[in-house]
Amino acid sequence: MEFKKLSDWGLGLPQSGSLIVAGPCSVESQGQMMRIGNELKDLDVHILRAGIWKPRSRPGSFQGVGLVGLEWLKEASLLTKIPCATEVATPQHVEQALNAGIDILWIGARTTVNPFYVQEIAEALKGIDIPVMVKNPINPDLELWIGSIERLYQVGIRSLMAIHRGFSTFKATTYRNPPMWEIPIELRRRFPTLPVICDPSHIAGNDLLVPEISQKALDLDFNGLMIEVHDVPDKAKSDADQQLTPKQLKSLLSELIYKSSSIKDIDFIIRLDALRSQIDSFDREIINLLAKRMNISKEIGIEKTENDVTFFQMDRWAQLFLDRVKATVEAGLSEQFAKDFIQSIHKESIRQQMEGIKKDTLLTK
Ligand code: PEP
Ligand code: MN
């Protein structure tokens, strides 16, 4: 799939640098939208965001102002000359947003999870040239995220962007929605021309964590940020804890360090190449050592079969697990990495033992 560059979306978006999308979680009133819009127009904000229909987890909470909010959002956008975006979850939302002249639509995390909804939205957009931003599904399922993008692509939409907003979890964590960075990174590996921005507000769940997540996203070369901003966050009708004031956004934007993913300084290139070639050779060594280790696993597999012993023995595994995790942690690596690493080796080892047997019986036949 080939996607349109942000600068070709026809909305005057920048050719390079970080795209900044900002605005309240929800449109609450005409005055609120105007106040926020006016503050944002003096900052480097490229898209004004606001939700009209709010997909809330529990009934009884603020569900958004509905249709009238589209007018307020559009009005703030026209007066500030910042293109606007809102979330759509049904074909009816699409129709109403298009009628109101909204510039960009986005599909929320609770909608991306459902292929039926996404397909209906895609069909409502057939033949219409409007940019669409697709948030990741609330569950960490990359294929589902890609599937939503494909459904929109299939009806002809090329101005597409993905928004990484973290993934729901049952466990209490520092984050409201843990980022699991490896998922958007894999998305970008598979679709290099797809713009991907990060929504640190929904990942954080509180205003304090927003700066650090924003910087991390820029360090990982994301194309921009979507940040929730409210004139009086404490009084916000939705997501009060995570919204920044325009002033907070201003200082965040001035403090962020924008790094370059292309390297120009020649001395730096030489130093980097030297370090990378060491990494390349260590990786080869690790792979060769692992292959040697797995060959021993195969031999053990044959011995175990000949002696009618199961491939897996709990005692040995429990002892080995503790020992290797301890050694890895002592070597300065993280405990989580240590656990994942040894589990992954063990899984492959069992597979190799079984494989060894299959080959062995074939050879003796
Ligand atoms: C939002 O952007 O306000 C929103 C509802 O986000 P998400 O779909 O990521 O939960
Ligand atoms: Mn929100």
pLDDT tens by residue, 328-338? 999 999 999 99
Q: Both 129 and 202 in a single domain? A: yes
306: amino acid identity, one letter = E
Buried b (16+ CB within 10 A) or exposed e, 206-226: ebebbbebbbebbebebbbbb
Which numbered ligand comes closest to the C-alpha of 49?
1
For residue 150, what is the domain's CATH number? 3.20.20.70
Q: Both 185 and 147 in a single domain? A: yes
Q: Give the mean model confidence (pLDDT) for residues 36-63.
A: 94
* Mutate-to-test residue for ligand 1 from 21, 47, 84, 87, highest number of ligand atoms within 8 A of CB: 87
Centroid of ligand 1 to alpha carbon of 325 (angstroms):
38
User: Does the pLDDT at position 356 exceed 70?
Assistant: no
Q: Give the mean model confidence (pLDDT) for residues 26-38.
A: 98
Centroid of ligand 1 to alpha carbon of 109 (angstroms):
6
pLDDT tens by residue, 161-216? 999 999 999 888 999 999 999 999 999 999 999 999 999 999 999 999 999 999 99
Centroid of ligand 1 to alpha carbon of 228 (angstroms):
10
**Number of folded domains in the chain?**
2
Closest CA to 130 of 4, 294, 31: 4
pLDDT for res 311: 79
Q: Both 97 and 120 in a single domain? A: yes
Structural domain of 352: 266-364
Atom of ligand 1 nearest to the CA of 54: 5
Using CA atoms, how far residue 1 sits from 193, 243, 303, 347, in Å, is 8, 35, 50, 35
- Band (57; pLDDT cuts 50, 70, 90): confident
pLDDT for res 354: 82
Which numbered ligand comes closest to the C-alpha of 52?
1
Q: Give me the DSSP letters along 272-307.
A: HHHHHHHHHHHHHHHHHHHHHHHHHHHHHHHHHHHT
Atom of ligand 1 nearest to the CA of 163: 9
Looking at ligand 1, which residue's alpha carbon is closest to its atom 3? 25
pLDDT for res 360: 52
Looking at ligand 1, which residue's alpha carbon is closest to its atom 2? 25
pLDDT tens by residue, 257-274? 988 777 777 888 888 888
Identify the residue whose tokens are 């942000």: 6
Q: Both 71 and 151 in a single domain? A: yes
Residue 261 lies in a domain: no
Residue 181 lies in a domain: yes
Helix, strand, coil shares of the chain, percent, nearest 5, are 55, 10, 35
User: Does the pLDDT at position 362 exceed 60?
Assistant: no
Q: Both 169 and 41 in a single domain? A: yes
Q: Both 271 and 188 in a single domain? A: no
Q: Both 89 and 34 in a single domain? A: yes
Say if CB 115 and CB 152 are below 8 A apart: no
User: Does the pLDDT at position 36 exceed 90?
Assistant: yes
Centroid of ligand 1 to alpha carbon of 190 (angstroms):
24
- Band (352; pLDDT cuts 50, 70, 90): confident
Which numbered ligand comes closest to the C-alpha of 87?
1
pLDDT for res 365: 40
Atom of ligand 1 nearest to the CA of 165: 9
Centroid of ligand 2 to alpha carbon of 161 (angstroms):
18
Centroid of ligand 1 to alpha carbon of 147 (angstroms):
19
Lowest mean pLDDT among 1-15, 223-237, 300-314: 300-314
Which numbered ligand comes closest to the C-alpha of 176?
1
Q: What share of the chain in percent tops pLDDT 90?
A: 80
Point out the domain boundary residue: 230, 255, 280.
255
For residue 295, what is the domain's CATH number? 1.20.59.10
Give CA–CA dist 221/215, Å, rounded.
10
Q: Give the mean model confidence (pLDDT) for residues 237-243.
A: 97
Point out the domain boundary residue: 222, 255, 288.
255
What does residue 211 show for φ and ψ, rounded to 5 degrees?
A: -60, -45
Q: Which residues line ligand 1 (CB under 6 A)?
A: 25, 51, 55, 108-110, 135, 165, 202
pTM over 0.85: no
Higher pLDDT, 159 or 272: 159
Using CA atoms, how far residue 123 sits from 13, 126, 275, 304, in Å, is 26, 5, 50, 58
Residue 342 lies in a domain: yes
Q: Both 286 and 187 in a single domain? A: no
Give CA–CA dist 76/83, Å, rounded.
9
**Residues 21/27/32/38 CA torsion (nearest 10 deg):** 30
Centroid of ligand 1 to alpha carbon of 236 (angstroms):
14
298: amino acid identity, one letter = K
User: Does the pLDDT at position 255 exceed 60?
Assistant: yes
Looking at ligand 1, which residue's alpha carbon is closest to its atom 1? 25
Q: Both 66 and 30 in a single domain? A: yes
Q: Both 173 and 88 in a single domain? A: yes
Residue 346 lies in a domain: yes
Centroid of ligand 2 to alpha carbon of 200 (angstroms):
11
- Band (156; pLDDT cuts 50, 70, 90): very high
pLDDT for res 358: 66
